[in-house]
Amino acid sequence: MALFDLPLDELRTYRGESTEPEDFDAFWDETLRQARAHELDVRFEPVETGLATIEVYDVTFAGFGGHPVRGWLRLPAGTTEPLPLVVEFLGYGGGRGLPHESLLWASTGRAHFLMDTRGQGSGWGGGGATADPVGTAPAYPGYMTRGIEAPENYYYRRVFTDAVRAVEAARAHPLADATRTVATGASQGGGITIAVGGLVPDLVAVAPDVPFLCDFPRAVTLTDRHPYREIALYLRTHRGRSEDVRRTLSYFDAVHFAARGRAPALFSAALEDETCPPSTVFAAFNAWGHRDKAIEVYDFNDHEGGGPFHEAEKIRWLRSHA
């Protein structure tokens, strides 16, 4: 795929097409207040993996609605003092996988918490373990239109709330240094990372890679690749619902969370990315509220972005932050 979006010089100033709701902060304050009315009820159960260098804990905590959410906590073997904490969120359709997977961040000497995404985990990888017990109105297959009839019912209200509670759960472990917490993730995980960056004020850094869930109005009309295509296909059937859908999505647009970001940030974008078009990524990056921010641009890559090259860049960058 050749370059299809705005030229790079225009990307660097592009601000997005989504209008922020007037009650955006009130909506999220109330959502998190309701979630915190439930005990966090976090549990860490050691797992036998056969690994010599990494210890793994099976984690359960109470997310949105008090629903149980799963995750893995990985620590360098023999850890006795609190370590910097990396909280990671997953790409669309994936689950937390098996305990011996995803060893990168613990291998750098950090505590690593990987949140399972509710209702997902059957599209790729080693599978998921967290149900989404909330029913919704008719939706297009996938997750993008579940509950899209109203912000209160939308699927990502539950996911973003789970993610904030995941940070709280990971910080509850005695070997995680809560004062040195980083959020990261790619694609859907990148969008969740930005949301967490806007909702959790005391992170030390965030690193969203080729993030999804940014600048919905442009994304839905620019690309015909899934998952954004789910929204267009829903509207193809539910004629006349465009404004209602746009309103719902405005409460979940990562651009608006980015404006509330208070930590240093390292983004990445790929200029041939049709899944998460670069203009939508730059809309969030340009809105990011902390002045210490950078974006790595991968000129001839699609949604894989920088892949292992960007992992190496994140390892280098995080040495200055956590």
Instruction: Name the residues annotated as catalytic.
Output: 187, 273, 303
Q: Alpha-carbon distance 254 to 280, whole Å?
A: 9
What are the DSSP calls for 161-187, one per residue? HHHHHHHHHHHTSTTEEEEEEEEEEET
What would the two tokens of residue 77 be? 């073997």
Interstrand relation of 54-62 and 43-47 (parallel, antiparallel or unpaired): antiparallel
What would the two tokens of residue 20 be? 């922020």
- Which stretches within the chain are classed as H helix? 8-11, 24-36, 104-107, 155-171, 188-199, 216-222, 228-237, 242-250, 254-258, 278-287, 307-318
Bridge partner list, 76: 54
Q: Alpha-carbon distance 36 to 216, whole Å?
A: 28
Total Cβ atoms within 10 A of residue 24:
18
Interstrand relation of 43-47 and 68-76 (parallel, antiparallel or unpaired): unpaired
Judge contact between 190 and 93, C-beta under 8 A: no
Residue in the block written with tokens 């919905």: 216
